[in-house]
Structure 1
Amino acid sequence: MYIWEQPDWPRLTWQDGSIAAPLAAVRHDQGRLIGRMEALGFKLREEAVLQTLTQDVVKTSEIEGEQLDATQVRSSLARRLGIDIGALPPTDRNVEGIVEVMLDATRNYQAALTAERLFGWHAALFPTGRSGMTKIIVGDWRDDSTGPMQVVSGPYGREKVHYSAPPAPRVAAEMEAFLAWFNAPLTTDPVVKAALAHFWFVTIHPFEDGNGRIARAIADLALARSEGSSQRFYSMSAQIRTERNAYYDQLERTQKGATDVTSWILWFLDCLGRAIHGADGVLAAVVAKGQFWERAAALALNERQIKVLNRLLDGFEGKMTSSKWAVIAKCSQDTANRDIAALLDLGLLRKGDGGGRSTHYELVL
């Protein structure tokens, strides 16, 4: 029996005594992180938000097996947030869609969550009306015309059903109850409400596709309410991506149990705590970037050098070679070599270990 088949669904319960200590710890860590970020100053705080949101968008899509170009995501976010990061590359429709959803969830966190708002999010995720090659219902609840909504894995003919969602005729009423609860005045801690909202929505699974991404956007909205701020300094989606198997295992176990969801709330709080602690890496990177540009401010750098240095500071994957430099800067190999040589002389770059074809360059931080 699935949880939605229980006679007392959707009256979810939990053991307050079991969650009290981890909840208090997470709330303490939330406040401590926000305090540290507020002390950064406007420009560095702006950069921290941009890095966090970029990570959030990329990782929430990655959980569903969709790989987005992080540079495009950063570009789309910067344009919408009014942050100057230099030349902005064009972005794909699928990137723009998920960016729109995440920004609406976090910047408009005080607005009511309605069916129409969710339909708008869903339409933004699937602008072509298709999931991959498959045509789906977009901007409306599923109708199960292609069969029951199930979460499955395994090869064709040997699939394993992990979960079966409520049948389509129940979805409208289920979502009406969910939205009424979500928009009602708080009767529990808002972080606990974020955990419950994530679980409740993904259990209903109201759309043909995109349910996981929208569930995580709803959780982000609830977490923004818990902090009273639209600025995001940690990424729950990035942490869930790291713990993806445990995430799905915990969902499956809870969905096959009774309406006491203490175990899910505990897992959510632990994961959130690790996400908040993971923001130390973002903080360190932002501070290092700020200090780097303070050193470089008085130096006469050209646009190509600034562009590639920023790519390196933003976490360039792989090793930066002169040929990669030429591609990114859209210049000749000779020009790339001159740009690099100048930065070596200025002490902003150094040669990495290895020579010959393995010659690459690293930032001096």
Structure 2
Amino acid sequence: MLFPTPRLSPDDERVLAEIDAAREGLRLAVRSTPTKWTDGLRRFLTADAVAASNSIEGFRVSTVDVADLMDGEKDVEISDENREETLAYQRMMTYIQSLHDAPDFAYSKGFLNALHWMLQGHRNSPRKPAGRWRPGAVYVTDARDPSIAAYTAPPAGDVPDLMAELVDWLNESDGSHPVVRAAMAHLHLVSIHPWADGNGRMSRSLQTLLTARSGILAPEFSSVEAWLGRPGNTWEYYRVLGDRGSTYQPDQDVADWVRFNLTASHQQTQSVQRRMERSARALVELDGFASREGWDARVVTALHDVALTGRVRRARYQHAESLSVQQAQRDLRDLVAVGVLRSVGRTRARYYAPGDEFPESALEVARTPFSLVDPYKGSA
């Protein structure tokens, strides 16, 4: 038995309508923005989702370090464990993103287990097998006292039938809104807890996949994983899951879970909108700066990355502008020579950060925080 999808309140319907309108606006904005700039935002948002979802499980890597790893950088100063977890999750997320418009797609037990292998294969062991249902009991322990089981998942013997029911549910539309349906998929999977490890990230990824396959917006712009990874939201996430009870009790009203996820979708969409606006404003400032200095317009790509993320690496700039290694190095050295950038680190670990002559107006645009509105309260 799975949780029944709750009836939506008038407030829920209003929030869903606002999400739809905002995402349609984002879709049109992305279509009208040069690919070079939206690609940078896609990269950042994917890195942010990976960093946030992993941080919920205790693997802490900054968004900018995740982005560097995604670009193939080897000399990123993080632990081997965090590197492995980041790359595994990024590979799985990249695959999930590629499925947003895949034809002839269907969910299956094998598909879900394959995703789990992508996430956990590097940790495969007899006690915690990757890509296979768990062989025994599994517990979610209390964050403050690991001797207390905050949640005990259904018996291992029930998992195959519960997952068969979930797969059938995933493949048969029930007419609910895609955002609601994605939230329910997350709840179903995390409550069944079918694997020995990685259940939280798998459940959040499944939510991302369902949202993306609704066709409204590309997965990079619609995932709520980054929102869930904000510390205050993470604790609320645990709380609302904890309200489901300490054992699997699917015959209950989960309207609060749906409302929590509608808030997440609404505020994450707000966040993406603000980031797009900020990116565009910084670009205007940097275009004007480069023009006044008489530089080639291509250097704006490097300056834009530095303004928005705090740094740029040679390989990233080279790839973005289709340059040779020598040309990319020359451009960055020239920017260092005039004090616009400063070089940090040596050889392959080198990156470039704002120098004393970096345009302050662009940094101010990039560093000014934005606020988010609670769609149910009308304030941040």
2:244 aligns with 254
Q: Pick from 195, 218, 222: which aligns with 2:206?
A: 218
Q: Deviations over 1:223-251 (max 9, x none)?
A: 11223443522541111112000011001
Question: In the aligned structure 2, how far is the partner of 1:154 from the partner of 1:69?
Answer: 22
User: What is the correspondence of 1:45-124 to structure 2 with a 5 Å cutoff?
Assistant: 45-68=38-61, 70-78=63-71, 88-89=73-74, 92-109=83-100, 110=102, 111-124=105-118
Change (3 A) 1:69 1:264: closer
1:176 aligns with 164
Question: In the aligned structure 2, how far is the partner of 1:306 from the partner of 1:89?
Answer: 22
Please state how far the C-alpha of 1:176 moved relative to its aligned partner. Answer: 0.8
2:307 is the counterpart of 1:316: no
2:195 is the counterpart of 1:204: no
Change (3 A) 1:112 1:228: farther
Any idea what SS the aligned residue of 2:194 has?
Answer: coil
Gapped regions of structure 1 (runs ≥ 5): 1-8, 80-87, 321-335, 350-358
Q: Pick from 187, 212, 237: which aligns with 2:225?
A: 237
1:127 aligns with 121
Any conservation in 2 of the 1:203–1:255 contact (CA below 8 Å)?
no
Question: In the aligned structure 1, how far is the partner of 2:333 from the partner of 2:217?
Answer: 45
Please state how far the C-alpha of 1:292 moved relative to its aligned partner. Answer: 5.4
Any idea what SS the aligned residue of 2:91 has?
Answer: helix
Q: Which moved more, 1:202-211 or 1:91-100?
A: 91-100
Question: In the aligned structure 1, how far is the partner of 2:358 from the partner of 2:192?
Answer: 48
2:215 is the counterpart of 1:227: yes
Please state how far the C-alpha of 1:342 moved relative to its aligned partner. Answer: 0.4
2:32 is the counterpart of 1:42: no
Please state how far the C-alpha of 1:286 moved relative to its aligned partner. Answer: 2.7
Please state how far the C-alpha of 1:159 moved relative to its aligned partner. Answer: 2.7
Question: In the aligned structure 2, how far is the partner of 1:265 from the partner of 1:236?
Answer: 13
Q: Identity of paired residues, percent?
A: 21
1:326 aligns with none
2:128 is the counterpart of 1:136: yes
Superposed CA RMSD in Å reads 3.4
Change (3 A) 1:231 1:159: closer
Question: In the aligned structure 1, how far is the partner of 2:41 from the partner of 2:152?
Answer: 39
Question: In the aligned structure 2, how far is the partner of 1:343 from the partner of 1:362?
Answer: 5
Gapped regions of structure 2 (runs ≥ 5): 77-82, 313-331, 343-353, 363-380
Please state how far the C-alpha of 1:165 moved relative to its aligned partner. Answer: 0.7
Change (3 A) 1:234 1:61: same
Question: In the aligned structure 1, how far is the partner of 2:141 from the partner of 2:124?
Answer: 20
Please state how far the C-alpha of 1:31 moved relative to its aligned partner. Answer: 1.5
Any conservation in 2 of the 1:50–1:74 contact (CA below 8 Å)?
yes
2:147 is the counterpart of 1:151: no
Which residue identity does 2:225 align to in structure 1? S
Please state how far the C-alpha of 1:46 moved relative to its aligned partner. Answer: 1.7
How many positions carry a matched residue from both structures? 312
Please state how far the C-alpha of 1:301 moved relative to its aligned partner. Answer: 10
Any conservation in 1 of the 2:121–2:131 contact (CA below 8 Å)?
no
Any idea what SS the aligned residue of 1:163 has?
Answer: strand
Task: Output the TM-score relative to the length of structure 1.
Answer: 0.74
2:79 aligns with none
Task: Output the TM-score relative to the length of structure 2.
Answer: 0.71
Any conservation in 2 of the 1:56–1:235 contact (CA below 8 Å)?
yes
Any conservation in 1 of the 2:186–2:207 contact (CA below 8 Å)?
yes
Any idea what SS the aligned residue of 2:220 has?
Answer: coil
Question: In the aligned structure 2, how far is the partner of 1:262 from the partner of 1:149?
Answer: 26
Change (3 A) 1:362 1:152: farther
Please state how far the C-alpha of 1:362 moved relative to its aligned partner. Answer: 7.2
1:343 aligns with 339
Question: In the aligned structure 2, how far is the partner of 1:230 from the partner of 1:39?
Answer: 15
Question: In the aligned structure 1, how far is the partner of 2:219 from the partner of 2:3?
Answer: 32
Please state how far the C-alpha of 1:77 moved relative to its aligned partner. Answer: 4.0
2:24 is the counterpart of 1:31: yes
Please state how far the C-alpha of 1:24 moved relative to its aligned partner. Answer: 1.8
Any conservation in 2 of the 1:113–1:179 contact (CA below 8 Å)?
yes
Any conservation in 2 of the 1:108–1:230 contact (CA below 8 Å)?
no
Any idea what SS the aligned residue of 1:254 has?
Answer: coil
Q: Deviations over 1:324-365 (max 9, x none)?
A: xxxxxxxxxxxx999545035xxx89xxxxxxxxx9747411
